[in-house]
Amino acid sequence: MILCLTPNPAIDRTLLLPSLTLGNVNRAQRVIVAAGGKGLNVARTIHRLDGEPLCMGFAGGHSGRLLADLAQKEGFSSSWTWTNAETRNCTILIAQNGDATVINEPGVSISTADWKQLSQDVQKQLPMVNRACLSGSLPPNSTAEDLRGLLRILVDSGKQIWVDTSGMALKVALDYPELCIKVNGNEIGDMLGLELNDLASAERALVLLREHGLTTSVITLGPVGALLATQEGKWHAQCPKVNVVSTVGSGDAFLGGFVSALDAGKDWPKALCDAVAAGTANTLSPGGGQFGIETFYEIHEQISVQAI
């Protein structure tokens, strides 16, 4: 079982449109309502690849109950930390003539007491999981100390812990060398003060992360592929060119594919191949983790992984 932590989950409403014109009435052809947030997309990918996710995070109000119901209907095990704060909603507009437009609500502030409760709830579940992922943004007004309390419990478990976040949360995570970091080029570029747009700049970022004390890091670069650095070596995986429908959730699908492969006992290069296949397959359909398994395997055959 893989723990998928989403501190700031949402109800994702994905609207498929023939076109999108600002300032005009736009009529959707199809609407997809799903339990959302980066960790839910990770869980959905793990589930599609025959793994077993355990979803955790804050939930509250009518939207929180809908979140729990939607996750259950998809077959996910879950253990939510209930609060008085209403779970947020996010709207994703996907037009046929362009990539997605995402409108993310910020969410509602969570108290320090709620964070402590989440940490306690996570601690109870950790003995039952093999590894864990902490994904996405934090609720408004969350502090570095709130996050540190949770990260300390995760690290002390001795399990492999992956973190995919940005901003303040990423800065805090970098203080824990025991963590495994998965970021995209923009997220880590902003943190390190670099512009990441090619393999050379991404390799430089991996060196800086190693100098910071981190032993396991992944940087995704969209069409350029992904780079992985561990104590055992470095690898680059190149994805095939595809006709992108939406990139929403593709980084989450990447992480879901990666940890699923590791959970199945695959080595680092094979896990990286699975990750890129899941992330690329995700771009061919609307919604995070909604790709078809046949598409995953078709793309998998086209991916090359090379040692750096």
Q: Do 9 and 35 form a contact (C-beta atoms < 8 A)?
A: yes
**pTM of the predicted model as reported, rounded to 2 decimal places:** 0.95
Q: Do 304 and 225 form a contact (C-beta atoms < 8 A)?
A: no
High-pLDDT (> 70) share of the chain, %: 99
Q: What is the pLDDT of residues 184-220, one digit of tens each?
A: 999 999 988 888 888 999 999 999 999 989 999 999 9
160-164 and 180-184: which strand pairing?
Answer: parallel
State both tokens at 203.
């390799």
Output the pLDDT for position 245: 86
Quote the mean pLDDT of the chain: 94
Q: What is the pLDDT of residues 129-146, one digit of tens each?
A: 999 999 999 999 999 999
Q: Do 105 and 89 form a contact (C-beta atoms < 8 A)?
A: yes
- Alpha-helical (H) ranges within 129-166 are 144-156
Spell out the residues 6+ positions from residue 69 whose beta carbon is closer than 8 angstroms to its own: none
Per-residue burial over 289-302, b = 16 or more CB atoms within 10 Å of its CB, e = otherwise: bbbeeebbeebbee
Q: What's the topology of domain 2-19+29-307?
A: UDP-N-acetylmuramoyl-L-alanine:D-glutamate ligase (3.40.1190)
Q: Do 64 and 110 form a contact (C-beta atoms < 8 A)?
A: no
Residue 87 to residue 105: CA distance in whole angstroms:
10
Residue type, 110: I
The vertex-74 CA angle with 70 and 76, nearest 5°, equals: 95
| Burial of 200 (C-beta count, 10 Å sphere; 0-12/13-18/19+) | exposed
For residue 163, report the phi and psi dihedrals to the nearest 5 degrees.
-125, 130
